[in-house]
Amino acid sequence: MIIAIDGPAASGKGTIAKQVAAIYGLPHLDTGLIYRAVAKAVLDAGYAPDNVEKAIDAAIALDPTQFFGHWALGMARVEAGAPGEAIAPLQKAHDLSGGIPFTLGFLAYAYGRAGRPGDARELLERAQKIAAETYVPPSALALGYVGLDDWDATFDWWNRAIEVRDPLIMAVKSYSFFDPVRGDPRYRAMLRRMNLAGEVPVGCHEDV
């Protein structure tokens, strides 16, 4: 079980998260602490805090066995237009994570973007087999179908993600992979379901 708690700075989300983790016997991951540690490492090395490449290097150096830095490296390469070069770090992230659906979905996405649809579909089939036995976040499958440019399946799975309050839906308006379909009625309907039709967060990729 994964419980994501978000909110404004100093709103008490960290305190609540620790209490919830203790009640349910779950590991507690403080993402804010991770971000601050990475920023400090970048600044200590003499670079600007918005230097993405150095931030990713710092994240991996802080703990090479943690999947997040390798995942970030892979996604940075996808965003840079080099999905083929993203597969190795995303595969490493998937292996280090123990094969969680989150990393599987992004790996399938990269395979699709790299022109390897067979590999992407193989991962999607694996995810669906797992889903027959236990919960798999719908976003994992939605991501794979984005990589394949299968927008019918993407919207189907993304709407399922909304229904179950999949944590990845929260940043939907900032995902660049949705840029080709911002004007699609299905995308607009999706935003309305999330009460986001009139909101544009800082750094958002869309203009509404």
Q: Looking at the structure, tell me whether residues 73 and 158 fall in a common domain.
A: yes
| Residue 165 CA neighbour count, 13 Å, CB half | 4
Q: Does residue 188 have a pLDDT over 50?
A: yes
Contact by Cβ (8 Å): 41, 54: no
- Domain membership of residue 37 as a residue range: 1-62
Out of 4-8, 105-109, 121-125, least confident range: 4-8
151 burial via Cβ count (<10 Å: 0-12, 13-18, 19+): middle
Three state DSSP letters for 52-83: HHHHHHHHHHHCCCCHHHHHHHHHHHHHCCCH
Q: Calculate the CA 76 to chain-centre distance.
A: 12
Contact by Cβ (8 Å): 146, 112: yes
Q: What is the pLDDT of residue 42?
A: 93
Q: Looking at the structure, tell me whether residues 52 and 69 fall in a common domain.
A: no
15, 33, 62 — which closes off a domain?
62
Q: Does residue 60 have a pLDDT over 60?
A: yes
Total of domains in the chain: 2
Q: What is the mean pLDDT of the chain?
A: 90
Residues 6+ apart with CB under 8 A from 203: 174
Q: What is the pTM of this model?
A: 0.80
